[in-house]
């Protein structure tokens, strides 16, 4: 990666065959900063890094990436050290490299947690 940071998320973008096409690394933090809005993308075919076409809408770290279709959701996180967690859920659009704020929000803001996508028919208690 070109931009050193920690407490970042990693999401995978897949092609139509389900093979990994790229690894997207949004946000993160450094010891001197609040959340970063930088996005870096690893092309799996060439193993080269580049910056994404669009930054995150705001700095974010300690978020969780959850696979979603051929892309992923970026869930929760912090905007600054010691600050409150956020309840936002963003979807990464691999065609435009934009971040789409989803209408669904977390019931309670969270950061630094694990998450999985559960279909309602598999686990109705999650509805």
Token code pair at residue 50 = 């580049």
Confidence (pLDDT) at 60 = 95
* Interior angle at CA 89, CA 38 and CA 95, nearest 5: 60
What's the CA gap between 20 and 105, in Å, rounded? 27
Task: Indicate the pLDDT class of residue 27, thresholds 50, 70 and 90.
Answer: very high
For the stretch 63-99, pLDDT in tens is: 999 999 999 999 999 998 888 999 999 999 999 999 9
SS3 content of the chain, % helix, strand, coil (to 5): 0, 40, 60
For the stretch 89-105, pLDDT in tens is: 999 999 999 999 999 99
Positive/negative CA dihedral, 112, 118, 124, 127: positive
Pairing of strands 71-75, 20-26: unpaired
Token code pair at residue 90 = 């963003």
Work out the percent of the chain whose per-residue pLDDT is above 90: 76
Tell me the whole-structure pTM to 2 decimals. Answer: 0.90
Residue of 50 and 31 predicted with greater confidence: 50
Task: Indicate the pLDDT class of residue 117, thresholds 50, 70 and 90.
Answer: confident
What's the CA gap between 61 and 53, in Å, rounded? 19
Map residue 126 onto helix, strand or coil.
Answer: helix
């Amino acid at each position: 990666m070109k931009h050193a940071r920690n407490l970042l998320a990693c999401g995978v973008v897949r092609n139509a065959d389900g093979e990994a096409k790229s690894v997207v690394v949004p946000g993160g933090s450094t010891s001197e900063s609040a959340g970063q809005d930088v996005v870096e993308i690893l092309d799996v075919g060439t193993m080269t890094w580049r910056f994404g076409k669009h930054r995150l809408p705001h700095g974010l770290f300690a978020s969780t990436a959850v696979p979603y279709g051929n892309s992923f959701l970026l869930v929760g996180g912090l905007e600054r050290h010691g600050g409150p967690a956020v309840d936002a859920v963003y979807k990464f659009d691999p065609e435009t490299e934009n971040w789409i704020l989803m209408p669904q929000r977390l019931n309670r803001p969270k950061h630094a947690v694990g998450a999985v996508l559960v279909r309602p028919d598999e686990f109705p208690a999650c509805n």
